[in-house]
């Protein structure tokens, strides 16, 4: 027995269904490309932080990337060849906020300390500074273990404890202002000196001096004016 097929004419409803199916297939075919494009754009924006305190926030275009690279290169060049610059470095990654109850200055087990990632970050920062040939003059650090360990892991010079850069998170405003004035004074006295003065400390201290809020492992580059005020030159983002 044989079966004979005869052509049939599609109804208007069938044609509409076919058109809808073809449209859906076309949209589905375009989805992988769009999904791929979104992470690329997001990654580009995230990898281009502002590197200069005066940089305007702009879209991550090629021109904007060029400006950011130039700003960063300019900061490294100033540090290599200039006089009187200071780097205010916030300690590397240390999970948490403040310090635990029972904090004791001489006992790291009672403090908030660098994580393994934070220790690696401090080492990477020091390696970057050496690659950029930053001529470090002195390294002064808060006596808090997370700051002291960051300073040591940088491996860019002899580390000296500097109590006036201890965390001001829990002290009175009078004590904090006195410490800030002393730190400003030491940066001012360095104004005409060769080499870079490095101070490793805490966000609260750096914000009091500059008005900026660096993330863990980020640094603010400053230079004192003839009147003793601090001028922010730029930011070295965390690595």
CATH code at position 88:
3.40.50.1240
Residues linked to residue 159 through DSSP beta bridges, in sequence order: 139
Q: What's the mean pLDDT in 218-228?
A: 96
Task: Using DSSP, state whether 235 is helix, strand or coil.
Answer: strand
- Is there a domain that residue 214 lies in? yes
Please give the average per-residue pLDDT across 42-64, as a whole number.
34
Whether residue 146 lies inside any domain: the answer is: yes
Name the burial class of residue 156, with classes exposed (0-12), middle (13-18) and buried (19+) by CB atoms within 10 angstroms of its CB: buried
User: What is the reported pLDDT for 97?
Assistant: 87
Task: Encode burial over 183-207: b for 16+ CB neighbours within 10 A, e otherwise.
Answer: bbebbbebbeeebbbbbbbbbbbbb
The answer to whether residue 7 sits within a structural domain is no
Three-class SS of residue 8?
Answer: coil
**In the chain, pLDDT over 90 holds for what percent of residues?**
66
Q: How far is Cα of residue 31 from the mean position of the Cα atoms in its chain?
A: 34
In a domain, 37, yes or no: no
**pLDDT value at 73 more than 90:** no
pLDDT in the model for residue 38: 29
pLDDT at 71: 58
What are the tens digits of pLDDT across the range 22-50? 444 443 444 333 333 323 333 333 333 33
Give residues with Cβ within 8 angstroms of 22, minimum separation 6.
none
Phi and psi at residue 98, in whole multiples of 5°?
Answer: 65, -150
How many independent structural domains does the chain possess?
1
Task: Report whether pLDDT(4) > 50.
Answer: no
Q: Is residue 13 part of a domain?
A: no
Q: State which residues form the domain around 199.
A: 62-236
For the stretch 114-137, pLDDT in tens is 999 999 999 999 999 999 999 999
Considering the domain boundaries, does residue 57 fall inside one?
no
In a domain, 225, yes or no: yes
Residue 185 lies in a domain: yes
Q: Which of 71, 70, 68 is nearest to 58 (CA)?
A: 68
Tally the C-alpha atoms within 13 A of residue 72's C-alpha that lie toward its C-beta.
16
């Amino acid at each position: 027995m044989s079966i004979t097929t005869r052509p049939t004419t599609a109804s208007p409803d069938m044609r509409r269904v076919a058109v809808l199916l073809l449209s859906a297939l076309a949209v589905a075919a375009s989805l992988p490309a769009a999904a791929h494009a979104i992470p690329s754009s997001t990654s580009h924006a995230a990898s281009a932080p502002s590197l200069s305190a005066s940089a305007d926030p702009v879209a991550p275009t090629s021109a904007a990337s060029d400006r950011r690279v130039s700003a960063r290169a300019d900061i490294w060049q100033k540090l290599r060849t200039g006089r009187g610059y200071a780097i205010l470095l916030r300690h590397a990654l240390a999970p948490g906020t403040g310090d635990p109850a029972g904090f004791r200055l001489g006992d790291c087990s009672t403090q908030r300390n660098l994580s393994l990632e934070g220790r690696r970050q401090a080492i990477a920062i020091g390696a970057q500074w050496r690659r950029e040939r930053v001529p470090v003059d002195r390294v002064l650090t808060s006596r808090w273990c997370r700051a002291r360990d960051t300073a040591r892991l940088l491996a860019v010079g002899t580390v000296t404890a500097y109590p006036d850069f201890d965390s001001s998170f829990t002290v009175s405003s009078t004590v904090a202002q006195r410490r800030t004035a002393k730190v400003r004074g030491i940066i001012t006295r360095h104004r005409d000196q060769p080499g870079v003065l490095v101070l490793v400390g805490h966000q609260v201290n750096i914000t009091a001096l500059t008005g900026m809020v660096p993330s863990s492992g980020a640094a603010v580059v400053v230079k004192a004016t003839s009147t003793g005020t601090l001028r922010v030159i730029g930011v070295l983002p965390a690595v």
